[in-house]
Chain A
Amino acid sequence: MSAIGRIIARLEVDPRLFGMLGALLVIWVGFDIASDGLFLTPRNLYNLSLQTASVAIMTIGMVMVIVTRQIDLSVGSLLGVLAMLMAVFQSRILPDHVFAYESAWIWPVTILFGIVCGIAIGGFHGWLIGYLGIPAFVVTLGGLLFWRGAAWWVTTGQTVSPLDERFELLGGGVFGTLGAQVGEWSSWLVGLIGIAALALGAARARRKRVTYGFPVRPIWAESIVTGIQCIVVLAFVTVMQAYEMPIVAANRFAEARGIPVPEDGIHIPEGIPIPILIVIALAIIFTVVLNRSRFGRYVYAIGGNPDAANLAGIDNRRMIFWVFVVMGLLTAISAAVASARLQSADNGLGTGDELRVIAAAVIGGTSLMGGIGTIGGAILGAVVIQSLQSGMTLLGADSSIQNMATAVVLVLAVFLDSLYQRRRKV
């Protein structure tokens, strides 16, 4: 083992994580050089994060689906129909019959409605797959066709636009950020809370292991791992703070709030976009669910060995049902974010997303054989895919080329992963 290999082993971090971060770094730097420094700018990275959000949210659910040896081909279509339902609900049904026009109640009630619909459809899929034993591939292939058709029927093909003003903040946009909605320093506060949580969490976990007398990582390894995590958090906040609200929008924003505007215009840092806050919150919640709860333990157990899980008293059918419920829930949130970003919903929204979501999970180390996969890895996978696409767009590459390049990366990632797995087995 090389010296670096030894150090990585002592850190007790999955080497594949380093591989993925390395690949992402290469992609970013490569695009930055090729685009004469356009890629690694706050503006581009800010947009990149917004573009990743919708797929990243669904990827969280897809990891669970694939880990239990299932697949969901319907998420793109499901996103389409849920976005249409929410759009009609918030712009026609609620203002006409329930709340006043532009009421502050519209957006939360709309999201609740979308989530209920998503859970119902996901639960229906889960029931067909788990309890009736129809293969997930077939059920969700049917879902892919059915829900895309259903999306058209919601308005017989009309695009719904604009959406509720507050609802649109969920998509990010110019005003949908912590900087615009809460305050200039709020993103830093979130970052500091994150760092404090990381450091305290690491210290607490270590103290617990020491109390029980378990072996612990050397303190330097612990510090490096936690330190790197903190640096990533700080770098992210720095970049998001560095992107400022476009000057016209900022002036309008300042006037509306009665903030005095200086001669040369006002500078308002955008900070963390709301959809990214949603991604982070969901990623944390579901990582805890997967790694620290019974539900998550059973998700992995079923994927690793369904017979063993069953013999241990786990109800595999019920678990699969609930996994698809979660997938439906997350697709609904994703649909809200996606339509809010476009400030409209049409029946084509989310077309092809199922492939992006599955590709993101797989590039992020989720095994299609089941049992293996992490949410963090899958979200990194989503960032990789989106980086490739937006990088190539920046270079003026045609979308056909983008698809071909994404495909090559997908196959290459799985090939490298299988090489790694084979080497570890021997």
Chain B
Amino acid sequence: MSTAALTNPAPTPVPARTPLVEMRNISVSFGGVRAVDDVTVDLFPGEVVGLLGHNGAGKSTLIKVLSGAYHSDAGQILIDGKPVQIASARDALNHHIETIYQNLALADNLDACANLFLGREELLGSGLLDESKMEDATRKVMGRLNPNFKNFHAPVSTLSGGQRQSVAIARTVHFNARILIMDEPTAALGVAETKVIHDLIRQLKKEGIGIFLISHDIHDVFDLADRITVMKNGKLVGTVKTKDVTQDEVLGMIILGKMPGTKTN
């Protein structure tokens, strides 16, 4: 029974590997509100961890601590078992933490190349942008991910949702992401485009990238995630292995904030 395994932490299969990321006892407050309250999560290489919870459960806030957009008031972040400071988006990028946001990721007025290299432009000896080199790299990585992509010089505002998302993913691939945060990556996409993104996620996983997947869509998460972490009202409800639980049990965690098997009083 899964209950036994949960109530009594298993002594046998201790993972030989250290986690890629551990976020320990993280708390974030906005004014008087505790958006994230003493939450601990971890992520192994080649693993997808789904983060679930209602709006306002604190999952986006938690993940923005990792991507450097927010500061935690308490807690610790470890990468490869070593404590690190992530004070800015730049720090996160230096630790190969890449983030794909639902709608925040791209500067709409810039083209695919400019977005792909935003913040990390290639420069010529003169200090000017090496646009040819960047376009070349963009064409190569897009050719791998989305061979139909042609609009390299159009502002990304003129592209479809799927094309935009593939630009965002291309960015992480090009810069050798080790830890990938995906915030509702398919929320704005149609069925066919969602499938493309799912295939991409599986491919990234195979390459040993660890992925935090934030989603409202429980099917999305069951399809892709190895483990599922549920939050409610800023607190951690628990983390379960996807293959050990049913969708109803996870819904129970989201709605009631109860671990599967524990009694509802």
Contact = CB atoms under 8 A, between A and B. Distances in A.
Interface of A: 208-209, 211-212, 214, 288, 292-294, 297, 300-301, 303-305, 307-314, 371-372, 424-425
Contacts of A310: 69, 89
A312 B91 CA distance: 10
Most buried by B among A214, A297, A425: A297
Given A212-B136, A313-B88, 20 more contacts: A211-B132, A212-B132, A212-B135, A288-B128, A292-B128, A292-B131, A293-B127, A301-B118, A304-B109, A305-B107, A308-B104, A309-B119, A311-B89, A311-B101, A311-B105, A312-B120, A314-B118, A314-B119, A372-B109, A425-B158
Contacts of B119: 309, 312-314
A137 B88 CA distance: 28
B141 interface: no
Given A294-B121, A301-B118, A311 B104 contact: yes
B101 A304 contact: no
A34 to B, nearest CB: 39
Interface string B32-61: 000000000000000000000000000000
Contact of B139 (A211, A214, A293, A297): A214
A212 B131 CA distance: 11
B129 A300 contact: no
Nearest to A301: B107
Contacts of B231: none
A308 B157 CA distance: 14
Given A212-B135, A293-B127, A308 B121 contact: no
A307 B99 CA distance: 13
13 contacts: A212-B132, A214-B132, A294-B123, A297-B118, A301-B107, A301-B118, A304-B109, A305-B106, A308-B106, A311-B105, A313-B90, A313-B119, A424-B158
Contacts of A312: 89, 118-120
B109 A214 contact: no
Contacts of A301: 107, 110, 114, 118
A341 to B, nearest CB: 34
Interface in B83-126: 88-90, 93, 99, 101, 104-110, 114, 118-121, 123
B16 to A, nearest CB: 34
B66 to A, nearest CB: 12
A372 B109 CA distance: 7
B166 interface: no
A305 B108 contact: yes
Interface in B200-252: none
Interface of B: 67, 69, 88-90, 93, 99, 101, 104-110, 114, 118-121, 123, 127-129, 131-132, 135-136, 139, 157-158
A311 B114 contact: no
Contacts of A212: 132, 135-136
Contacts of B108: 304-305, 371
A377 B118 CA distance: 25
A294 B121 CA distance: 7
A301 B104 CA distance: 12
Contacts, number: 81
A308 B69 contact: no
B88 A209 contact: no
Contact of A294 (B110, B129, B157): B129
Q: Tell me if B's interface is mostly helix, strand, loop or mixed.
A: loop
B109 A313 contact: no
A351 B71 CA distance: 46
A297 B67 contact: no
B61 to A, nearest CB: 15
A140 B62 CA distance: 38
Contact of A311 (B67, B135, B158): B67
Nearest to B67: A311
Contacts of B67: 311
Nearest to B92: A313
Contacts of A372: 109
A309 B131 contact: no
Contact of B89 (A214, A292, A294, A313): A313
Contacts of A209: 132
A308 B129 contact: no
Nearest to B93: A313
Contacts of B129: 292-294, 297
Given A304-B109, A311-B105, A293 B128 contact: yes
Contacts of A313: 88-90, 93, 119-120
Contacts of A300: 107, 109-110, 114
Nearest to B135: A214
5 tightest CB-CB pairs across the interface, nearest first?
A312-B119, A304-B107, A304-B109, A371-B109, A313-B90
A287 B108 CA distance: 21
Nearest to B158: A424
A424 B69 CA distance: 33
A146 B162 CA distance: 51
Nearest to A289: B128
A208 B104 contact: no
Contacts of B120: 312-313
Contacts of A211: 132
A278 B221 CA distance: 60
Contacts of A292: 128-129, 131
B107 A311 contact: no
A372 B158 CA distance: 14
A73 to B, nearest CB: 24
Contacts of B128: 288, 292-293
B149 to A, nearest CB: 13
A424 B121 CA distance: 29
Nearest to B168: A308
A91 B120 CA distance: 49
A251 to B, nearest CB: 48
A312 B118 CA distance: 6
A49 B114 CA distance: 35
Most buried by A among B93, B107, B129, B131: B107
A313 B119 CA distance: 6
Given A214-B135, A297-B121, A301-B118, A311 B69 contact: yes
A308 B123 contact: no
